[in-house]
C-alpha cells in the first residue's frame, strides 16, 4: 500500500539526505520533503506548512540535532523527531532523548529507520487522538459546568438509591443550600413532603429498573413549609461502560405559573358554563351571516328550536328574524365593528310555528377569523303583555274621566242656573215688599267649586 509522508530533513549533507529519502521510499513511502540546515530555515519551514516527522542530523556546521529539538519544542508543534548520527555514544543518546527525540539512528544502520518512523507516526497519531479526546472532554466539562450554573431548570444526577450525586445552581438555590455539594448523599425525602418524595422515588426506581425514560411527566411538589409547586420532568437512566444502570439524570422545569393559569381558566370556564346552563337568560354565539353556533336551552326555547337542530346546523337567526327587524341587527353589527359591543336593543324572533316573540338583545364581537357574536337575549313577552294591560287600563281611565268631566260640567251648570233663578225670585219678592222666598248665602261659590271637577 502506498504511504505518503511529509518529512522535514534537518541535514547539511545532501548525500546523507538522499540516503534517508531512499530508505523511506524503500519502505513504501511517497515522500514530500524539505532539507534545511539553519535555525532560520527550519523555523520558516515549520511556519510554512504542516509536517509528519522531523529527521535531524546530530552535528552540523551551523546547527545541531539538539538545537533542532529545542526549536521544535519551542514552536509548540507536536511532531515525532528522530536524530540520525554517524557515531553516537550512550550519554549523547540519553541527552537527545531528554531533549525530546523519540529515537536515534546510526547512519550506517538505516535499516532501523522505517520501523522507527512507522512506530513514531503511530505514537504521534495516538498522542493527537488523546489530545483531541482530552480537549473534547474539557469542552464537554465546560459545557456541562456552564449548563449547571446558568440553567433556570432543575438539573440533577442520582445514584441507584435515588440519592443526589450532583445538582445545579438553580436547584441549590431552591433547596436553600449554600453549595451543590451540600445535596450530595441526600434524597427528595430530605427536601419534600413524604407524598411527593415517595412518588418520585418509585418513578426513579422504575426508570432504573426498566431502562425506560420518563418524559414530560407533571409532578406536584409539596414543600415542608406548605408551598406547592409544579414541574414538568424528564428522567433518563445513566449507564456505565458495560451498559449497567448506575443512576439517572433528571431535568425539571417549573410550570407552576402555567398550572395556576390553567386552573384559573378552568374555574372561569366552569363559572361561565354554570351561568350559561342556569338558563337565567338566553345565551347565544352566532356568526353575523346567520349561523347559530352555540346556544343554551333558554335561547332555544325562545326561538322555538331543539338542541338537535342546533347540532345539525339548522338554526339561522336571520331567517328567524322578521324582515322589518333586520335593520336593528345590522345597526348593532355596525356599532360592534366600531367599539366591540353594542347597547341593548329590542327586536322580534319568528318561531317555526309562526308566532312572534319580542326580545331584548345585547351583543359583543368575539375575536377570531370570522365575525362571531356572543349575545344575551331576554324574553320580553310578559313585559309586553304587562305594558299592553297597563296601556288598556290607562285608556279606560282616560275615557271614564272624560265622561265624568262632561257629567260634572252638566251638573254644575244646572246648579248655577238654580242659584240665579233663586236670586231673581228674591229680587221680585223684594219689589213686591214680600220677604225672600229662598236663602242664598255667600257659600254658593264654594259649593260651585266643589261641584267643579278637573277635566
pLDDT per position as a tens digit, 42-68: 999 999 999 999 898 888 888 888 888
Say what the pLDDT of residue 413 is: 74
The pLDDT tens digits of the residues spanning 349-361 come to 999 999 999 999 9
**Does residue 384 form part of some domain?**
no
Same domain (yes/no): 179, 64? no
Give the HSE-up count for residue 16: Cα atoms under 13 Å, Cβ half-sphere: 23
Reported for 439-444, long-range contacts at CB under 8 A and 24+ positions apart, including other chains, are 444/419
CATH number at residue 114: 3.40.50.2300
Give the HSE-up count for residue 342: Cα atoms under 13 Å, Cβ half-sphere: 23
**Does residue 142 form part of some domain?**
no
- Whole-angstrom Cα distance, residue 431 to residue 205? 138
Same domain (yes/no): 368, 396? no
Under the banding of pLDDT at 50, 70 and 90, the label for residue 448 is: very low
CATH number at residue 345: 3.30.450.20
Say what the pLDDT of residue 453 is: 38
- Looking at every residue in the chain, the average pLDDT score rounds to 88
Same domain (yes/no): 13, 123? yes
Same domain (yes/no): 104, 176? no
83, 101, 131: which is the final residue of a domain?
A: 131
379, 408, 423: which is the final residue of a domain?
A: 379
The pLDDT tens digits of the residues spanning 81-101 come to 888 887 666 667 677 777 777
Same domain (yes/no): 118, 167? no
Under the banding of pLDDT at 50, 70 and 90, the label for residue 248 is: very high
The pLDDT tens digits of the residues spanning 177-201 come to 999 999 999 999 999 999 899 999 9
259, 293, 326: which is the final residue of a domain?
A: 259
Nearest Cα neighbor of 42 from 78, 71, 2 is 71
- The reported pTM is 0.58
Say what the pLDDT of residue 182 is: 96
Same domain (yes/no): 239, 286? no
User: CA distances (Å), 301 to each of 239, 348, 364, 377, 378, in order?
Assistant: 67, 14, 22, 11, 11
**Does residue 266 form part of some domain?**
no
Under the banding of pLDDT at 50, 70 and 90, the label for residue 443 is: low
pLDDT > 70? residue 431: yes
The pLDDT tens digits of the residues spanning 107-162 come to 778 888 889 889 988 888 888 899 899 999 999 999 999 999 999 999 999 999 99
pLDDT > 70? residue 16: yes
Nearest Cα neighbor of 364 from 285, 275, 279 is 285
pLDDT > 90? residue 79: no
Same domain (yes/no): 297, 235? no
Strands (DSSP E) contained in 209-290 are: 214-222, 228-239, 245-254, 282-287
- Number of domains the chain contains: 4
Same domain (yes/no): 84, 163? no
**Does residue 65 form part of some domain?**
yes
Same domain (yes/no): 38, 59? yes
- Rounded to an integer, the average pLDDT of 401-425 is 78
Same domain (yes/no): 292, 254? no
**Does residue 144 form part of some domain?**
no
Same domain (yes/no): 208, 294? no
pLDDT > 70? residue 446: no
**Does residue 272 form part of some domain?**
no
Boundaries of domain holding 286: 279-379
Same domain (yes/no): 299, 355? yes
- Whole-angstrom Cα distance, residue 237 to residue 157? 10
Amino acid at each position: 500500500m502506498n504511504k505518503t509522508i511529509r518529512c522535514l530533513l534537518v541535514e547539511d549533507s545532501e548525500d546523507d539526505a538522499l540516503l534517508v529519502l531512499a530508505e523511506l521510499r524503500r519502505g513504501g513511502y511517497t515522500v514530500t520533503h524539505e532539507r534545511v540546515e539553519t535555525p532560520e530555515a527550519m523555523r520558516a519551514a515549520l511556519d510554512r506548512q504542516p509536517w509528519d516527522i522531523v529527521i535531524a542530523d546530530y552535528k552540523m556546521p551551523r546547527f545541531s540535532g539538539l538545537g533542532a529539538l529545542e526549536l521544535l519544542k519551542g514552536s509548540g508543534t507536536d511532531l515525532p523527531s528522530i536524530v540520525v548520527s554517524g557515531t553516537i555514544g550512550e550519554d549523547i543518546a540519553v541527552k537527545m532523548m531528554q531533549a525530546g527525540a523519540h529515537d536515534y539512528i546510526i547512519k550506517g544502520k538505516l535499516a532501523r529507520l522505517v520501523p522507527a518512523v512507522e512506530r513514531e507516526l503511530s505514537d504521534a497519531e495516538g498522542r493527537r487522538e488523546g489530545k483531541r479526546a482530552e480537549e473534547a472532554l474539557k469542552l464537554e466539562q465546560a459545557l456541562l459546568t456552564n449548563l449547571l450554573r446558568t440553567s433556570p431548570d432543575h438539573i440533577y444526577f442520582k445514584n441507584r438509591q435515588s440519592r443526589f450525586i450532583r445538582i445545579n445552581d438553580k436547584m441549590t438555590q431552591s433547596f436553600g443550600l449554600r453549595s451543590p455539594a451540600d445535596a450530595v448523599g441526600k434524597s427528595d425525602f430530605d427536601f419534600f413532603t413524604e407524598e411527593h418524595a415517595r412518588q418520585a422515588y418509585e418513578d426513579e426506581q422504575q426508570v432504573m429498573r426498566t431502562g425506560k425514560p420518563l418524559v414530560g411527566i407533571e409532578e406536584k411538589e409539596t414543600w415542608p413549609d406548605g408551598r406547592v409547586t409544579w414541574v414538568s420532568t424528564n428522567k433518563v437512566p445513566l449507564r456505565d461502560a458495560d451498559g449497567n444502570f448506575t443512576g439517572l439524570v433528571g431535568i425539571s422545569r417549573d410550570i407552576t405559573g402555567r398550572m395556576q393559569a390553567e386552573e384559573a381558566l378552568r374555574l372561569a370556564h366552569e363559572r361561565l358554563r354554570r351561568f350559561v346552563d342556569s338558563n337565567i337568560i338566553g345565551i347565544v354565539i352566532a356568526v353575523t351571516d346567520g349561523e347559530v353556533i352555540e346556544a343554551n336551552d333558554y335561547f332555544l326555547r325562545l326561538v322555538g328550536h331543539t338542541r338537535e337542530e342546533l347540532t345539525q346546523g339548522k338554526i339561522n337567526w336571520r331567517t328567524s328574524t322578521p324582515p322589518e327587524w333586520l335593520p336593528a341587527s345590522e345597526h348593532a353589527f355596525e356599532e360592534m365593528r366600531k367599539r366591540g359591543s353594542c347597547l341593548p336593543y329590542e327586536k322580534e324572533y319568528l318561531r317555526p310555528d309562526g308566532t312572534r316573540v319580542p326580545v331584548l338583545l345585547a351583543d359583543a364581537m368575539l375575536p377570531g377569523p370570522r365575525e362571531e357574536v356572543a349575545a344575551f337575549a331576554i324574553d320580553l313577552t310578559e313585559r309586553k303583555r304587562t305594558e299592553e294591560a297597563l296601556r288598556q287600563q290607562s285608556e279606560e281611565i282616560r275615557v271614564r274621566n272624560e265622561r265624568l268631566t262632561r257629567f260634572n260640567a252638566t251638573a254644575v251648570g244646572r246648579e248655577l242656573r238654580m242659584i240665579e233663578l233663586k236670586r231673581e225670585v228674591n229680587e221680585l219678592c223684594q219689589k213686591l215688599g214680600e220677604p225672600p222666598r229662598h236663602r242664598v248665602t255667600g257659600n254658593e261659590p264654594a259649593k260651585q267649586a266643589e261641584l267643579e271637577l278637573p277635566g
